[in-house]
Chains A and B, each alone.
Chain A
Amino acid sequence: MSILTIRGGRAGTHAARRRWWPGRAGHGFVAPYVVLLIAFGVVPTGYAIDFAFTDASGRFAGLSNFTAAAADFRFASAAAHVALYLLFWLVSLVVLVVGLALLLHNLAARGVGKALRFLYYLPGALAGAASVMVWLFMLDPTVSPAGFLLRALGLDTFGQVIAPGHLPFVLTAIAFWTGAGGWIVVMYGALNNISPELMEAARIDGAGPWQIARRVQIPLLRKWIVYMVILAFAVGAQLFVEPQLLSQASNGVAGRDYSLNQLSYDFAFQNNDLGTAAAVSVVLLVVTLAVAVVFVVKSGFFDAG
């Protein structure tokens, strides 16, 4: 109370300033970010969208790039591949990441939890060339440490493992291996921010670990889960590196046109057709945005506080 009265004068001037420029503090805090956002986000995105609507000579081309992409004989099958892969990838990510984070969080022995988090995260540090080499070996039954498992499934050669029908599983496994650890860390941190009083209250009310997870922890993780789903959808829709490298390593058993992004890459660098390549990307962006909008609206994701 005394603090309030003593500093009343200063608070008053702040209030006055807030009136002549509402939200000026907020603007100050975001200004540097806005500069970077425009320079390295908005402008390149606009540029890419512009590509999608112009032809090779730089004239406005209407939707012709889009129709050219859609008319390509590989487009429909690539879209179907990506859709199926997304299903596997999103379900496994949401169920397993949330599940593993909850299991780790419930571990009584903190040291074990800490070690497991680190070990689960390990592959997250491996990107690009490194993870490619690891997986080329892991998927080859003749040299893989998990070769006995692959052979038990009736897969004796690298070609059989990466047969087109298996790719959704294989690609999900690779993406999960590199990506899940980071999200487990995020979810674990978010679980730690749930107040112990709340958990205590639920326990006193007789809730078991399963009920606490379902009624207290998961609802409080909602924003994090929504964010993970939106980003995982975007990353999954942009599937590129894994099928591209599998294709290289298998001399085409896995096709070079498995995913939409590979198709886009082909348009850009094989046919020198940046317009059609950008059109494919814009289609991906629109679909991803539509999904994001559904999640954002349904979850109240943008509500402050």
Chain B
Amino acid sequence: MPADTRRPTARIHEGAARTPVSRPRRTTRQRMPSPVRALVLTAFLLFFAVPVLWLVLAATKTDDQLVRGNPLSFGSWSALRHNWDALTAYQSDAIFLWLRNSAVYSSLALVITLAVTIPAGYALAMTEFRGRRPLLVATLVVMLMPNATLVVPLFLEINAVHLVGSTWSVVLPYSFYPFGVYLTYIYFSTAVPKELLAAARIDGCSEFGAFRRIALPLAAPVIALVGFFSFVANWTNYFLPYVLLPESDQFPVQVGLGTLLSNVPQFNPTAGTLAVERPELALATLLAIIPVLVVFLFSQRFLVAGMLAGATKG
């Protein structure tokens, strides 16, 4: 039977395919749970996570338990309930209004940032044009400028065009994200081979076509990276909205937390009658970081994806 004759040869090929080199390597790699490595990773896990765990537990305690109790113990559901009621009662649901404001500002800015930043970083890395280097330098200089110094000039500028107090007064400055331009620039200049785009151009792709059809699909990790970091940067920005938005009902949640903090008697001895207790602040903080963590979990897959395996070979 022909099958009989074919089988042995097939087996020989299979055997050849896994010659000693490839197999054992795989296993050595998995066989190395070096104790030093585990120790280092665990030590840093504790360093990063224990303070956060403390914060989560703080929201379940009374202020007294927070100070006297075991730092890493669970308080009680009733204390959590009490903190929740006290927090939401603060200026009648102000916390939810602040969260909504943050969401509006951050997402508007996110959309503009991505539309502006990705093409800019791509062009800086992959095309030649007059002014490329000066643009890279200017971007870097602006990034290095102390942020606190820029807030006063920004205020004067936005005041000059009568935008102080409007949503755009924070959204537009947020949308300018030089950090993201550099992330995109480095990504394209280190991870995407230029030949790939040269080939597309030779095949008759317009410059925009090459960007849209070749570069953009490969850019998923960096789009996620820029989007994520800009979202977090805007979500956690304090000083700019603090200066530009005068009304409490326009505050994003960070400025709101600042308000709460300044009403905690232990942190501010001059705090007035609207005293806020520390566990309420902890709870407010947790509400404020949940969106960031959700966005992180959602984008993590894209953040670290190595999308380019074999891109040049195809």
CB <8 Å contact, A130 and B145: no
Contact status A122-B49, CB under 8 Å: yes
Interface size on A, residues (CB 8 A): 114
A129 near B261 (CB under 8 angstroms)? yes
Given A129-B261, A144-B71, A281-B146, is A3 in contact with B176 using a C-beta cutoff of 8 Å? no
- Complex Cα gap A249–B266 (Å): 9
Distance of A182 Cα from B232 Cα, bound (Å): 10
Q: How far is the CA of A124 from the CA of B231 in the complex (A)?
A: 12
Q: How far is the CA of A265 from the CA of B30 in the complex (A)?
A: 53
Among residues of B, the one whose C-beta sits closest to the C-beta of A282 is B149
Q: Which label, helix, strand, loop or mixed, suits the secondary structure of the B interface?
A: helix
| Neighbour of B281 across the interface among A119, A133, A278, CB < 8 A | A133
In chain A, what residue has the closest Cβ to B48? A120
Asked if residues B202 and A223 are in contact (CB atoms below 8 Å), the reply is no
Contacts A128-B258, A133-B285, A192-B305 given; indicate if A43 touches B145 (C-beta within 8 A). no
**Minimal Cβ-Cβ distance residue in A for B113:** A36
CB <8 Å contact, A45 and B145: yes
Complex interface: stretch among A58-66, A72-80, A164-172, A226-234? A226-234
Interface SS of A by simple majority: helix
Give the 6 A-B residue pairs with the shortest CB-CB distance, closest first. A23-B129, A7-B204, A26-B129, A25-B207, A192-B306, A127-B236
What residues of chain B have their CB less than 8 Å away from a CB belonging to chain A?
A: 21, 25, 29-30, 32, 37, 40-41, 44-45, 47-52, 54-55, 58, 66-67, 71-72, 115-117, 119-120, 122-133, 135-136, 138-150, 152-154, 156-157, 172-173, 175-176, 178-179, 181-183, 186-187, 189-191, 194, 201-204, 206-208, 211, 221, 225, 229, 232, 236, 238, 254, 257-258, 260-261, 267, 278, 281-282, 285, 288-289, 292-293, 296-297, 300, 303-310
Sample 5 A-B pairs with CB under 8 A, ordered by A number.
A40-B154, A45-B142, A143-B67, A145-B50, A192-B305
Instruction: List residues of A whose CB falls within 8 A of some B CB.
Output: 3-4, 6-8, 10-11, 14, 22-30, 32-34, 36-37, 39-45, 47-48, 51, 96, 99-100, 103-104, 106, 108, 114, 116-130, 132-138, 143-147, 177, 180-182, 185-186, 188-190, 192-196, 203-204, 209, 220, 223-224, 227, 230-231, 234, 237-238, 240, 248-249, 261, 264-265, 268, 274, 277-278, 281, 284-285, 288-289, 292, 296, 302-305
